[in-house]
Amino acid sequence: MAIAFLRHGSNAVIGLGMLAIVAAALAGAFLPAAPAVAIGVVLFFLTEYGTHRYVLHAPPARSAFIRTLQHRLHYDHHTEPSRLDLLFLPWWALAPILLVFGVVYFAITRSAGVTFSLILGNLIGLLYYEWVHYVAHIPYQPRTPFGRWMKKYHLWHHFKNERLWYGVTNPTMDFVSRTYARVDDVEKSGSTRVLYP
C-alpha cells in the first residue's frame, strides 16, 4: 500500500524533498529551527481548507489553459474519485507552490534555516494530507476511530454534498467556517460529480 502511494503524484518528490532538507541541515548547510517545522505543519493545515474550498472549488476560469489546470487539479477528481492518477498533487504543481512559499518565508524571516524548516513542516503536512486523502479513496479501513471517521467525512464531500466538509485531514476549519453539518441533515447534491455543469 505504501509503495503504491509513493508511485503517484508528487508523493515520492515530497518524501525526497523532506530527506534532502534534513540531510542538508545535518551536513551543516543551515541551522534548522524546530519550532519553525511545527509552525510549517500548522500553516499547511490552516491553508488546506482555504485551498480546497476557494482554489480547487473555484468557478471555471475564462482562460482555457486555467480551466485545463482546474480539471486536472480537482474537477476531474470529483468526476472520477477512484482514479488514483487524479487523486494526488502533481509534481509540476508542487514545484512552483514550494518556490512561492519559500520566497515568501525568506522575505519575512531573512533566514535560510527558518525558511527550510517552515518548508519541511509544509511538506510533512502535505504528505500526511496526501496519505489521508489516499486512504479515503481506496478500499482500506483505517485502524483508528478518528481515521475511519475522517474517511467517511471526506467521502460525504464526494458523494453527499460538495459544498460541505472541505477538511480532508481534520474538520476544524469546517466548524469555524460553517461548512460542517450532520450528514443526516443534508440533502444529496446533484453536482458532486460534475462541480460546474
Please state, as a whole number, how many other Cβ atoms lie within 10 Å of the Cβ of residue 78.
21
Give just the sign of the alpha carbon dihedral 53, 89, 160, 137: negative
To 10 degrees, what angle do helices 91-109 and 11-26 make? 40
Query: At 2, is the pLDDT very low, low, confident or very high (cuts 50, 70, 90)?
Result: confident
| Burial (CB count within 10 angstroms: exposed 0-12, middle 13-18, buried 19+), residue 21 | buried
Domain boundaries, the chain: 2-146
* pLDDT score, position 151: 97
Cell of 127: 504528505
Tens-place pLDDT, residues 49-67: 999 999 999 999 999 999 9
